[in-house]
């Protein structure tokens, strides 16, 4: 099963809220279900959000609903990953939203394999690679971007170890990236986010590869915590790569002008359903941060390895 699948007029998603404890599916029967799924992170990760949104618009059209209004509602589901806006605009310009969504679904799989091929050459036999959040199969239709590079290097026979940052507050690294690597049999270890700097200082990390939610003039927006990893990588001379499709590039807005999503403070105040701070504590919960271009060694895309903007 892929992260998302179009089946009998419904969009079936792996319910990522339930992983790694159970593999369950969430059926979107209309575009409102798609909006719910994106907002509540049933599906997440920039490329997966984009393709899901495309199917959402297609469902509105198939149901004879007001497609323009549906497209605007879908676009309002999450603000930071530019793939969402790119995907909705693309299906809206097409003659058949469903055919276009299916094309985008297929393209996503091909794109990730091309990213993997380009990126695998950066990884040496024996490398230990740190990744943050989940830029894997679960963040795309399949294969992944940052984890796609790791998969491709592994398939070339390179021995490597993956270090996953836990990725507080939602735990995409611990719950999703570790799970994906275990499914593939790729050696993986989990660290608390706060350990990344120490591991780099002590020479335990050879490379960092992360995904992106938006790449624009000035830098890259990605999961909160990416900036801290990039700063430590620069300080300790660890190459820091971003892997992403060309659909993640935003050529219209400088990076510091984009909206960084603020999520429910409860994500910070609770962990696994348990409150971790005194009652009445206020929390700040930005979901993304910005890695300035000068901290980035290269951007691995389906077209090759590019300089940051």
Q: Which residues are catalytic?
A: 213
Residue 151 vs 223, nearer CB to ligand MRU: 223
- Based on CB atoms, which residue is closest to ligand MRU, 52 or 61? 52
Q: The tokens of 181 are what?
A: 């690597």
CB of 246 to ligand MRU, least distance (A): 13
Nearer to ligand MRU, 97 or 171 (CB): 171
Interface residues toward ligand MRU, by CB under 6 A? 44-47, 81, 133, 135, 139-140, 145, 172, 211-213, 222-223, 287
Give, to the nearest 10 degrees, the angle between helix 46-62 and helix 82-93. Answer: 30
Residues pairing with 270 in the sheet? 275
Nearest-approach distance from CB 96 to ligand MRU, in angstroms: 27
Nearest approach in angstroms of CB 74 to ligand MRU is 15
Q: Least separation, in Å, of the C-beta of 212 and ligand MRU?
A: 6
Query: Given the structure tokens 């393209």, which residue do they identify?
Result: 107
Q: Which is nearer to ligand MRU, 97 or 169 (CB)?
A: 169
Which residue's CB atom is positioned nearest to ligand MRU?
Answer: 211
**Sign of the Cα pseudo-torsion (258, 228, 217, 113, in order):** negative
Cβ 211 to ligand MRU, closest distance in Å?
Answer: 3
Indicate the residue among 45 and 97 with the shorter CB distance to ligand MRU.
Answer: 45
């Amino acid at each position: 099963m892929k992260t998302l699948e179009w089946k009998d007029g419904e969009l079936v998603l792996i319910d990522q809220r339930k992983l790694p404890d159970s593999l369950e599916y969430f059926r979107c029967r209309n575009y409102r279900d798609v909006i719910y799924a994106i907002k509540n992170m049933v599906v997440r990760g920039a490329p997966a959000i984009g393709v899901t949104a495309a199917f959402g618009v297609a469902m509105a059209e198939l149901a004879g609903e007001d497609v323009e209004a549906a497209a605007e509602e879908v676009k309002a589901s999450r603000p930071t990953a530019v793939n969402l806006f790119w995907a909705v605009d693309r299906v809206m310009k097409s003659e058949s939203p469903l055919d276009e969504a299916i094309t985008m679904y297929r393209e996503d799989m091909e794109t990730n394999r091309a990213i993997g091929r380009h990126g695998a050459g950066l990884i040496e036999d024996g490398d230990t690679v740190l990744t943050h959040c989940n830029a894997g199969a679960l963040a795309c239709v399949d294969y992944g971007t940052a984890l796609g590079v790791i998969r491709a290097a592994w398939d070339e026979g390179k021995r490597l170890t993956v270090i996953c940052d836990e990725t507080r507050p939602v735990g995409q690294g611990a719950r999703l990236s570790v799970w994906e690597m275990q499914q593939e049999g790729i050696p993986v270890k989990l660290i608390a986010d706060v350990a990344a700097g120490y591991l780099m200082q002590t020479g335990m990390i050879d490379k960092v590869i992360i995904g992106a939610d938006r790449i624009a003039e000035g830098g890259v927006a990605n999961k909160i915590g990416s900036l801290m990893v990039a700063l430590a990588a620069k300080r300790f001379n660890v190459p820091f790569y971003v892997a992403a499709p060309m659909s993640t590039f935003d050529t219209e807005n400088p990076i510091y002008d984009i909206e960084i999503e603020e999520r429910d403070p409860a994500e910070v105040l609770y962990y696994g359903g348990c409150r971790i701070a005194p009652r009445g504590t206020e929390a700040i919960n930005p979901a993304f941060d910005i890695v300035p271009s000068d901290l980035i060694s290269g951007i691995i895309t389906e077209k090759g390895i590019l300089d940051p903007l």
